Structure 1
Amino acid sequence: MQDLLALLGIDVEYVRGKGNTLHCLDEAGKEVPVIDYAGGYGALVLGHNHPEVVATAKSFLGAGSPVLAQASRQPAAGRVLTRLNDIVHREFGTTEPYYGVFSNSGAESVEVALKHAEFDRQLTVRAILGEITEHVALAREAVRSGAATLPDDADGDVDALVGRVTAANAAVAARPPVFLALEGSFHGKLVGSLQLTHNAAYRMPFAAMAAQARFVPFEQPEAIAKIAEEERAVLLDLRLEGGRVRVVERDFPAFAALFMEVIQGEGGIRAVTEEQARTIRRMCTAIGCPVVVDEIQSGMGRTGAFFASSLVGLQADYYTLAKGLGGGIAKTALTLIKGQRFRPEFDLVHSSTFAKDGLSLAVTLTVLDVLEAEGGQAYQQAAERGERLTQLFRSLVDAYPQVLKEVRGKGLMLGLEFRDLSNAAAPRLREAARADMLGYVISGYLLRAHRIRTFPTASAVNTLRFEPSIYLTDDEIAALEGALRDVCAKLGDQDEEAFFGPASAH
């Protein structure tokens, strides 16, 4: 990684940060300001070292409050969940409560959702198998007592029929869970969450370590119906009807959950439409598949609402939260689970040493206070600043159509896609594009020439992401405009020396 940073010219050390500004050291050891549009990969909704967040952390530590006191009453956790439930109820118009499981990172919050969804599915399967066991016992007793007859194809042997039913059900029940995710998705790089991440370069080296997900085409959510038919399985049950034993089929709960981002981050800042959201919700409800909405990057106010999914009318069964929840200081995450799905027994099979620590809870409460202050002024600010950036990017796309393709996203989670240069006349630009490095080359130039920090999205490397804090200023936007116009002009002129320096003598 250090070699790659050096190659791109972004191997600098940052020594101070405030708001949207980082300071790095130049060769003389002098601090140089850099405008941070990367925003901690979306974690810095409130910017670097927000004064209220910093004050909370100092006060907590200065008071000698315990950071770790597991297996004790932790009322701050209850306050966090109460605040979040208030937000859910306001944004989605619901009154149903959500329970919470705390963790330490976004990928862990996804792992919690994975585990809980499968735990819920397994308990459902056990309940169905328990009912079948009771029905089988009643049918066997009825046949043996002469109160009922067997189906014609049972050859008069009730024990053989019971054996076939039991064996068939055992085989079906042993099937691994089916998880669904959208193409282009990114949900983390831990063992389970990685299988929900569409990028094969990340996923395939570890594919044997966890249940594989099935990926739904992003533009075709109706494909869920076809997948449901392909994955359909049934359990066999015995029923007594009019003095006769009948073999009946019962749908097997094959699907554990569908995971999705309403705005894909690493997939190129692609937003789900209201129509797509409605289709996903309808089809998942029809097959009994809970919906997990990953709000790790899009949530916490970045898109103009606390939950980006509320902007497309999609209420989830699970929400995963992280990044901005910690205010740029704490490493904390949370999985919200709808009350009707929550399994209290889960608390006994899942735990974490560092989750729900006192410092993180205190910081999270302050973050929620800041976001919710003045009737949610922060959300309005994110929407307004995001619209200002969007207008800028659209004007650039219009001005440089040969260089820029489109702008995507919502609020302060935006992506600006550059056109493919894999057939460029300039050889070094062409080689960078063919190596999927063009976005990184542009990022390096923006930092070196204009002191602007941003990066491409991991699975759509021609798309630069812009995720500044809600305190983005007009001057910072103006600086970005000048820098991007310079980049577009130089790309349009195929000025590869601007990006790579003079060609070698060779």
Structure 2
Amino acid sequence: MANKWIDEAEHALLHTYNRYPIVLERGEGVYLYDTDGKQYLDFAAGIAVCGLGYGHRAYTEALKAQVDKLLHTSNLYYSIPAAEAAGKLAKAAQMDRVFFTNSGTEAIEGALKAARKYAFTEQSGRFEFIAMEHSFHGRTMGAVAVTGNEAYRTPFEPLIGGVRFATYNDLESVRAQMNEKTCAVILETLQGEGGIHPIDPAFLAGVRRLCDENGVLLILDEIQCGMGRTGAMFAWQDYGVKPDIMAMAKAIGGGVPVGAFAMTEKVAAKSLAPGDHGTTYGGNPLACAAVSAVLDIFEEEHLLEHVREVGAYLEEKLDELAARRDSVKERRGKCLMQGLELAVPVGEVIARAQEEGLLVISAGGNVLRIVPPLVITKEHVDEMIGKLDKAL
């Protein structure tokens, strides 16, 4: 059965992914099932997207109800779901204004445009960005330009100009790149694709201070590390260092394609105005109904407390696994965003994990990335450790 669909996909789809030879058909809870009926414990969550797992009743009922009402209107009109979702998301993110997009990459594009328009309005002559080495912000031309991986940038050059790269967690490196042309610093509050690198709180506070002293905006990319994954609604909230602009996506829609960028009122008042930025599908009623439902479920089910409890248990069990396995060099991460740097090829471990009925993915070279649905239990952690131990 699987071979039929794989052959059909390979014939028609553009080959931009190295896909695993699995055809997933349905999900239930934190498990996925392929077309042959094999069950997989999912510790990838669609790359940190499916925070509520699969088949969450309140979530799916909210989507079904909206499908029966209205799917699309365009942003020429207001809609109830967009108004509700924007208010809830702004409150959760502790920001003032929200713009809905279709993806995280689009959220980054909007954030970059907002920063440059703010500088233009202020007539500051600033236009450069400081980004971080080993960062990842997306695949479009602007997002690639601020991604700190040369392999992603080189095939598409020349990209947008005015981007300087500093070293993550090295404040002096950021200071050395900052000048009178810098309009914004952009960084992930916890680097994901680059290898799961947590931020040094002193570094984040120092970057905020540098930005304030030099009239520079701080953009935080919380697309992967946000929405509860690190135990706070957004990772920066644990450090008390508020950005001027923030990008988010992935888990905010629970699986429906939706992203957003948010900003303070100060930035909003002097940046994007009517005609500067737009989207046909962004903020459509279905996507916003998904965002609204996810935020309601976070509150009703006390998901942040759950993530902190299960996340601490996951860290403990991964540390025990790393201590007894020479093939694991280091564990790093926070709560339910974890990475194991391996001394053996990560691709081989992923393949063996799939044989054991476990889905995990890679990040930044030879790092095993573990980003399960936020609703996993300690029992699921134990099951995962057993399967991963065999794979290693």
TM norm. shorter chain > 0.5: yes
Alpha-carbon distance in 1 for matches of 2:157, 2:71: 40
Shift of 1:9: 9.2
Aligned residue for 1:47? 53
**1:54-69 correspondence to structure 2 within 5 Å:** 54-62=60-68, 64-69=69-74
- The answer as to whether partners of 1:103 and 1:332 remain within 8 angstroms in 2 is yes
Aligned residue for 1:320? 247
Aligned residue for 1:478? 382
Aligned residue for 1:77? 82
1:323-365: CA deviation from partner (whole Å, max 9, x where unpaired): 111111x211111011111136523211111011011111111
**Cα distance change, pair 70–284 in 1 and its aligned pair in 2 (3 A):** closer
**Cα distance change, pair 122–19 in 1 and its aligned pair in 2 (3 A):** same
Question: Which of 95, 114, 119 matches 1:116?
Answer: 114
Aligned residue for 1:185? 135
Q: Which runs of 5+ in 2 are unaligned?
A: 1-8
Aligned residue for 1:136? none
Question: Which of 330, 339, 344 matches 1:406?
Answer: 330
Aligned residue for 1:384? 309
Aligned residue for 1:194? 144
- The answer as to whether partners of 1:192 and 1:211 remain within 8 angstroms in 2 is no
Question: Which of 262, 275, 279 matches 1:336?
Answer: 262
SS state at 2:220 partner: strand
Alpha-carbon distance in 2 for matches of 1:486, 1:42: 24
| Count, aligned residues | 379
Question: Which of 438, 456, 460 matches 2:362?
Answer: 456
**1:156-235 correspondence to structure 2 within 5 Å:** 177-228=127-178, 231-232=179-180
1:202-243: CA deviation from partner (whole Å, max 9, x where unpaired): 111113031252111113122222222xx44xxxxxxxxxxx
Alpha-carbon distance in 1 for matches of 2:249, 2:29: 19
Paired AA for residue 175 in structure 2: A
Aligned residue for 1:397? 322
Shift of 1:373: 1.7
Shift of 1:187: 0.5
Aligned residue for 1:11? 21
**1:96-107 correspondence to structure 2 within 5 Å:** 98-107=96-105
Paired AA for residue 197 in structure 2: R
Question: Which of 357, 361, 370 matches 1:466?
Answer: 370
Alpha-carbon distance in 2 for matches of 1:114, 1:208: 17
Q: CA RMSD in A?
A: 2.1
Amino-acid identity (%): 28
Paired AA for residue 393 in structure 1: L
1:111-133: CA deviation from partner (whole Å, max 9, x where unpaired): 000111111111222xx6xxxxx
Alpha-carbon distance in 1 for matches of 2:165, 2:304: 32
**Cα distance change, pair 303–2 in 1 and its aligned pair in 2 (3 A):** farther
- The answer as to whether partners of 2:117 and 2:271 remain within 8 angstroms in 1 is no
SS state at 2:157 partner: helix
Question: Which of 411, 417, 432 matches 2:341?
Answer: 417
- The answer as to whether partners of 1:2 and 1:11 remain within 8 angstroms in 2 is no
Shift of 1:70: 3.1
**Cα distance change, pair 33–417 in 1 and its aligned pair in 2 (3 A):** same
Alpha-carbon distance in 2 for matches of 1:470, 1:341: 32
Question: Which of 222, 225, 238 matches 1:295?
Answer: 222
- The answer as to whether partners of 1:37 and 1:452 remain within 8 angstroms in 2 is yes
Matched, 1:285 2:215: no
Alpha-carbon distance in 1 for matches of 2:215, 2:331: 36
- The answer as to whether partners of 2:90 and 2:262 remain within 8 angstroms in 1 is no
Alpha-carbon distance in 1 for matches of 2:329, 2:264: 40
Q: Which runs of 5+ in 1 are unaligned?
A: 90-96, 129-172, 233-253, 422-437, 489-506
- The answer as to whether partners of 1:47 and 1:470 remain within 8 angstroms in 2 is yes
Larger Rg: 1 or 2? 1
Aligned residue for 2:35? 25
Aligned residue for 1:447? 354
Alpha-carbon distance in 2 for matches of 1:61, 1:292: 34
**Cα distance change, pair 344–404 in 1 and its aligned pair in 2 (3 A):** closer
- The answer as to whether partners of 1:17 and 1:23 remain within 8 angstroms in 2 is yes
Paired AA for residue 388 in structure 1: Y
1:232-275: CA deviation from partner (whole Å, max 9, x where unpaired): 4xxxxxxxxxxxxxxxxxxxxx1121111111110111110211
TM-score after normalising by structure 2: 0.91
Superposed structure 1 runs of 4+ greater than 3 Å apart: none
Alpha-carbon distance in 2 for matches of 1:32, 1:411: 28
Shift of 1:307: 0.7
1:117-150: CA deviation from partner (whole Å, max 9, x where unpaired): 111111222xx6xxxxxxxxxxxxxxxxxxxxxx
SS state at 2:100 partner: strand
SS state at 2:193 partner: coil
- The answer as to whether partners of 2:138 and 2:147 remain within 8 angstroms in 1 is yes
Paired AA for residue 261 in structure 1: E
SS state at 1:346 partner: coil
- The answer as to whether partners of 1:45 and 1:327 remain within 8 angstroms in 2 is yes
Shift of 1:300: 1.0
SS state at 1:461 partner: coil
Paired AA for residue 21 in structure 2: D
Paired AA for residue 202 in structure 2: E
